[in-house]
Amino acid sequence: MKNKNFIIVLCFLIFALISSGGCGGSNSSQSRIERMVQDMTLEEKIGQMFIIRPEHLNSAMSADAIHRTITSCDIELNDVMIETLNKYPAGGFAFFTRNLQSPEQLKKFTDDLMDASVTIPFIAVDEEGGRVARIGNHGSFDVPKIPPMQEIGTSGDTSLAYAAGSIIGGYLSDYGFNLDFAPVADVNINPDNIVIGDRSFGSDPHLVSEMDSAFLSGLHSRGILGTLKHFPGHGDTTSDTHTGYVAIYKTWDELLQAELIPFIENFNNTDMVMIEHITLINITSDDLPASMSYQLITERLRNELNYDGVVITDSMEMGAINNAYPSGEATLKSIEAGVDIVLLPYDYRESFNAVLNAVKSGRISEQRINQSVQRIINLKIKIFNNY
């Protein structure tokens, strides 16, 4: 595995050099990416479509136990976890407060995960500023405190949003991260919203759009990828998908007038679009959460709005999904809907095997897997090109 890891990393480096103009090459970038994907095993390709918690690599524990028990696997990589990663080669890792102990511990942990992965992994975190900042709100890390995005939005000064992205991107880069699940692109329309609130830049969709663009540019200036969330908009809700089912009753035309504007205007700026778990009663007829809806992801987001970048689910551990669907089936429905990356499946091994078996049985084609992996590899090249 280590030898293959070295070869694949070398391929990434060579590709990055070619893409940045460092040497000649007659074939298109897309053709080179396709060849890289062809050289990967089916298991390696499937693994690229998951971002998991590091502790999901603890094969000695059930999924339920992993979620309720804190162990040393939360803060360091061990040999058992490396064995699991060799069998289930995840494409990335998301860090939470339980994974943070000290600057030295965190940097070693992210470095070790990078070294052990078969391809360059996404090392990700929710670092929005304000109340959602895993590192910024942790007492062991001396980093600048970023105010809530609502405060920045109220100023009307996009340079403050750029500075927030740049500052956050700077310390994320120092600790080995390459992906931030930020900025929030939700328009804070409903004053009774219990989920978004001051995480949003405000209630004016065009202001939110401009602030999102500046924040993303700030992240990019430090070599950090960004994520617009939560498509198609969580700003006009009063319930929380973290705990259970949430529906909205707006029409597509109504969303186009407000909630969708920050997304559409930043499709060319963002690196990922995160799909939330709300159910769109008057837009889709499948009665599925947005993160599982072919009608929303493929027909609306991809075909109508022409977004061809990476689509990632919101956390699949959340109650709106985990309370209603087995982990493996939830994963399959999301991939069938058009998702590229499944974020935090409740049971990673069950979900991985569900995709593997679905490809072998013909439920999902390997070509469908390849489409997502090509998008993912193309995005990972940006990490080397460092914008």
Q: In which residue are the tokens 């405190």 written?
A: 145
262 near 276, Cβ under 8 Å? no
Rounded Cα distance, 123 and 129, in Å: 18
Which pLDDT belongs to residue 251?
94
Q: What is the CA radius of gyration of the chain?
A: 20
223 near 173, Cβ under 8 Å? yes
| Biggest CA-to-CA distance, the chain | 56
Active-site pick, 74, 180, 212, 314: 314
Which pLDDT belongs to residue 7?
45
Which pLDDT belongs to residue 196?
86
Which pLDDT belongs to residue 23?
45
Q: What is the mean pLDDT for each group of 10 consecutive residues in the chain (387 residues)?
A: 48 51 55 88 97 95 89 92 96 97 98 94 98 97 97 98 98 98 93 80 97 98 97 68 73 95 98 95 94 97 98 94 95 98 97 98 98 96 74
Rounded Cα distance, 79 and 377, in Å: 27
Kindly report, residue by residue over 352-387, the tens digit of the pLDDT: 999 999 999 999 999 999 999 999 999 998 887 765
Kindly report, residue by residue over 30-83, the tens digit of the pLDDT: 788 888 899 999 999 999 999 999 999 999 889 999 888 888 889 999 999 999
Which pLDDT belongs to residue 26?
41
Q: With 0-12 CB in 10 A as exposed, 13-18 as middle and 19+ as buried, what is 291?
A: buried
Half-sphere exposure of 125 (CA within 13 A, CB side): 28
Whether 242 is a known active-site residue: answer yes
Active-site pick, 67, 126, 138, 242: 242
Whether 314 is a known active-site residue: answer yes
Which pLDDT belongs to residue 118?
85
Which pLDDT belongs to residue 384?
72
Which pLDDT belongs to residue 50?
98
Rounded Cα distance, 59 and 331, in Å: 20
